[in-house]
Amino acid sequence: MGVTYGYDMKGGDTFVTSMQRASNIFLGIATPEVFALCIAFPFVKALPAWFPGMGWKSKAAECRRLVSDGLNTPYAWVKRRVEQGDATPSMVADAIIRHRLDDDSNNPELVQAIKESAGTLYAASVETTHATLLVFVYLMMNHPEVQCRAQAEIDRVVAHQRLPDFEDRASLPYVDAVLRETMRCHPVGPMGVPHATTEDDVYEGCYIPQGECRRRLRAMSHDEEKYPNPEVFMPERFLREDGTLNEDKVPYMFGFGRRICPGRHVGDASLWSAMVCILTLFRIEKTEGSDNVKWSTGLARHPLPFPCRFIPRDEEMDCQKLASLIYASRIAL
C-alpha cells in the first residue's frame, strides 16, 4: 500500500480488507474445474446464480463489486492528497502528477490503466508473497539441514549483531538459492494467471485458439531435463561449483512479456527480506500436528494454517530486543 498508494496501513483498514476479500473469493472460485466447465460448455455463463452448481456466480458478482471498490477508492484518496499538496510519493501519485490528471474525464483510458495497474501490483504482490512465505515456513520445518546451512551463511555475514539488509544480499547466495527453490518446488500459482488471445495464433508450431492461453508453471518448474529430481527440495541446484548463484532466476514465476507481473520487483525484495530476517532470528521446528498439513485448492496453492514452533536463536531474545532489531532493520531497508 505504501509503494502503490503512499498509504500507511492500519488494522481493520477498509482499503485492505476490500481487496483481500476480493482476492480470497477469486482464488477460491477460479479453479481449473470452473475454467474447464466454461470452456467446454460456454452456455453455463448465461445460467443464473440460483441454478444448481452455479453458486460460484454470486461470489463472482461480489468479487466484481469489491474489485471496483478496491480500484476506485484508493485512487480517489490519492488524487485528493495530490490536490491538497500533501501526497506521499507513490506509483499512483507520481502517475497523476506526471500526466497532469487534474480532470479524470480528459483521459479516462489512462486513468483506468493506472487504477488497474495499481490494483494488480498490490493484489499480486500481497497474495503471492503471503502464499510463498507459507511455503517457505513449511519447507524450513521439513528441511532443517537447509535451514541450518542458510543460518550459518547469515551468521558469517552479520555475526549476530544486526538483521541483514539489501546490501548484504550479494554475500548471501545460499539464502537467494533457498528463495528460488521455494518458488520452483511449490509454485503458488501452478496454472499461472489466465489470459486470453484476441485471435487464433500459432507460436513455434503450437496452435493457440482465440480466447485461450494457459501456461502450466508447475510443469515448467518440474521439468526433469532442467531440474533433475524436481520433487526434491534442493537449493544447491541454483548454485555453481564455486558457490555463486547461477543465471536461473525462475523468471517465469512472474509471468511473461507485456503481461509480466508489475509487482515482481517488490515481491522479490519482500520475500528475500522476510525470509532472511526469519532465518536470522528463529529456528523453525515441527510440533504436534505438523505432519498433517493440508493444501489449498484453486488458482493459488499453498499450505493451509499448520502448527509449528518458532524458537528464538538468541537465548537472550526478548520482546524489547526484538523490537529494537526490527526498528533498526526498517530504517536500513
- What nine digits make up the cell of 75? 485512487
- What nine digits make up the cell of 268? 522479490
Taking only the tens of pLDDT, the chain with its 333 residues reads 788 888 887 655 666 777 777 777 776 666 666 766 776 777 777 778 778 777 778 888 887 888 888 888 889 989 999 999 998 899 899 999 988 887 777 788 899 989 888 877 766 666 788 889 999 999 999 999 999 999 999 999 998 778 899 999 999 999 999 999 999 999 887 766 667 778 888 888 888 888 766 667 888 899 999 999 999 999 999 999 999 999 999 888 887 777 777 778 888 998 999 999 999 999 999 999 999 999 987 667 889 999 999 999 988 777 787 777 777 666 555
Tell me the longest C-alpha to C-alpha distance in the chain.
64
Element (H, E) at 290: none
Of 123, 134, 137, 129, the closest CA to residue 25 belongs to 123
261 is in an annotated binding site: yes
| Helices vs. strands in the chain: H and E counts, helices first | 11, 4
C-alpha count within 13 angstroms, C-beta hemisphere, residue 52: 0
Q: Specify the residue for cell string 466454461.
A: 38
Pairing of strands 282-285, 206-208: unpaired
The dihedral formed by the CA atoms of 234, 239, 242 and 247, expressed in degrees to the nearest 10: 170
Of 3, 308, 319, the closest CA to residue 136 belongs to 308
**How far apart are alpha carbons 85 and 78 in whole angstroms?**
10
